[in-house]
A and B are shown apart, each in its own frame.
Chain A
């Protein structure tokens, strides 16, 4: 008969997903997807993750975690993302500390619906060290063909349009963020097999009117 401890161990093990097949090569490929996304804001860039993944993260979100996170990166998980399975996998595979406060995180996972409450709390760095800021990883936002925002700035030739299903008021937060430049957080939208980067340097011109910051 199994002891309580044994059954708990088995339970936890079954919660663990398998990481990248080729941990070194896949991490390098996934990082390049991130680098391309951040270098070309608004561009939909192909990305990937392991076949087995904790649900709320999705395959690409899990791939992002395996690529970017470790013991040096405090991570915030929004309520919808921070399931026991997500926690078990991030702790085991990345060894990253999980923090309760978005302000203490260097990476924050959230759904699009939760972004409005999380984004305003993220660290934006200090004038001396604008790099000491967070990266928001927003999961599940589907990219659409309806242009909702017009993007300009570094990495963008002339301008770029981006369509996305976002709650009303969402873009206001990102515009306020861009206004603080060089302070600010950086954002990556993660959908299945695709990511879009939106660094703080990108100026966002709404095709939908935004509220005052």
Chain B
């Protein structure tokens, strides 16, 4: 029995009465087979018999089922939500696995070999030895354009993606730009249009040719999909309106990092705010290494 993990959370022995990582072996086998299919057809959404989990649908049950099915006892797990290890839902999911699987957990990106995340990809590049599991609310990238599954399935079968291009083009003619800022659709392996989950489009370029395996789980919608390592992922765009990502004029107020995704923190009711790294582990590690942003320069506390 392990008392302390590297994060300092107390981990009891796996909760008795439930199987390792909660799911029964039959459910895991079914999900594992779906994952292998997903890897074989990158970007294609494999239907799976999603189970009811002890957390609400929409709160990461797809990612949780994928993680539960891939976990082995020797793994070290990191869970983030909105880039942070310490938001309530990330804490809740991390505890769930610490309790039901007894696996080690960490907040350090490079120490984890499985990272479950909602809406962000860590700033630190991932390696071939890691797997990132993304929680997905709506897996169908065409859903906003065509609500019917029968129709969208057909569109994927025929590579009939005209509606998506029309939608993006209408954006440009109306607003002068593509107005999608997160869950920005991508073309995977030159064949399937895929929803990257509601990550900011800032993270889209990280998905392409990533050395780590990316798995996507949508529990309520009962779909699993994947991007294998080193796979081409292209954000949809037009020649005269190339894909672009968010950039900030000022560095992180705490660690001085640039070219990272920032959270805006409201400081007062007079419009004062500052920008800090959304990836809390990345920011903390930089500060530990002595980097300082404008808000803490000259501050020795």
User: Are A and B direct contacts in the complex by CB distance below 8 Å?
Assistant: yes
Taken together as a complex, chains A and B put the C-alpha atoms of A34 and B34 apart, in Å, by: 12
0/1 interface trace, chain A 128-146, chain B, CB 8 Å (1 if under): 1111010100000000000
Residue pair B42, A32 in contact (C-beta under 8 Å)? no
Q: What is the minimal beta-carbon distance from A122 to any residue of chain B, in angstroms?
A: 13
Residue pair B228, A39 in contact (C-beta under 8 Å)? yes
Residue pair B228, A154 in contact (C-beta under 8 Å)? yes
Residue pair A28, B20 in contact (C-beta under 8 Å)? yes
B124 within 8 Å of A by Cβ? no
A23, A39, A131, A181, most chain B CB atoms within 10 A: A39
Whether A131 contacts B46 in the complex (CB less than 8 A), given A39-B228, A182-B41, comes out as: yes
Taken together as a complex, chains A and B put the C-alpha atoms of A129 and B42 apart, in Å, by: 14
Whether A28 contacts B72 in the complex (CB less than 8 A), given A154-B228, A182-B192, comes out as: yes
Residue pair B154, A128 in contact (C-beta under 8 Å)? yes
B229 within 8 Å of A by Cβ? yes
Query: Which residues of A (140-193) have their CB < 8 Å from a CB of B?
Result: 153-157, 181-182, 186
Chain A residues, Cβ within 8 Å of B21: 28
Interface size on B, residues (CB 8 A): 44
Whether A131 contacts B72 in the complex (CB less than 8 A), given A24-B20, A40-B229, comes out as: no
Chain B residues, Cβ within 8 Å of A27: 25, 28-29
A118 within 8 Å of B by Cβ? no
Whether A35 contacts B40 in the complex (CB less than 8 A), given A70-B26, A128-B153, comes out as: no
Residue pair A39, B37 in contact (C-beta under 8 Å)? no
Chain A residues, Cβ within 8 Å of B37: 131, 133, 186
Query: Which residues of B (226-241) have their CB < 8 Å from a CB of A?
Result: 227-232
Taken together as a complex, chains A and B put the C-alpha atoms of A69 and B230 apart, in Å, by: 29
0/1 interface trace, chain B 222-256, chain A, CB 8 Å (1 if under): 00000111111000000000000000000000000
Whether A70 contacts B228 in the complex (CB less than 8 A), given A35-B35, A128-B157, A186-B40, comes out as: no
Name the CB-closest residue of A to B113: A32
Q: What is the minimal beta-carbon distance from A139 to any residue of chain B, in angstroms?
A: 18
Residue pair B229, A39 in contact (C-beta under 8 Å)? yes
Residue pair A155, B26 in contact (C-beta under 8 Å)? no
Chain A residues, Cβ within 8 Å of B163: none
Taken together as a complex, chains A and B put the C-alpha atoms of A109 and B69 apart, in Å, by: 24
B51 within 8 Å of A by Cβ? no
Taken together as a complex, chains A and B put the C-alpha atoms of A69 and B72 apart, in Å, by: 19
Chain B residues, Cβ within 8 Å of A21: none
Name the CB-closest residue of B to A72: B30
Residue pair B29, A131 in contact (C-beta under 8 Å)? no
Query: Which residues of A (87-108) have their CB < 8 Å from a CB of B?
Result: 106
A199 within 8 Å of B by Cβ? yes
A38 within 8 Å of B by Cβ? yes
Chain A residues, Cβ within 8 Å of B28: 27-28, 31
Residue pair B41, A200 in contact (C-beta under 8 Å)? yes
B71 within 8 Å of A by Cβ? yes
Q: What is the minimal beta-carbon distance from A53 to any residue of chain B, in angstroms?
A: 19
Whether A131 contacts B34 in the complex (CB less than 8 A), given A24-B25, A25-B20, A182-B192, comes out as: yes
Taken together as a complex, chains A and B put the C-alpha atoms of A182 and B30 apart, in Å, by: 21
Which residue numbers of B lie inside 8 Å of A, CB to CB? 19-21, 25-26, 28-30, 32-42, 44, 46-47, 69-73, 128, 131, 153-154, 157-158, 189, 191-192, 211, 213, 227-232
Which residue numbers of A lie inside 8 Å of B, CB to CB? 23-25, 27-29, 31-32, 34-35, 38-40, 67-70, 72-73, 106, 127-131, 133, 135, 153-157, 181-182, 186, 199-201
- Apart from A38-B40, A68-B32, A157-B211, what are 14 other A-B pairs with CB-CB below 8 Å? A27-B29, A28-B72, A31-B69, A35-B131, A38-B39, A70-B29, A131-B38, A131-B41, A131-B44, A133-B37, A154-B189, A154-B230, A156-B230, A199-B41
16 contacts between A and B (CB under 8 A): A25-B20, A25-B73, A29-B72, A31-B32, A31-B72, A35-B35, A39-B39, A72-B30, A155-B231, A157-B211, A157-B230, A182-B191, A182-B192, A186-B36, A199-B41, A200-B41
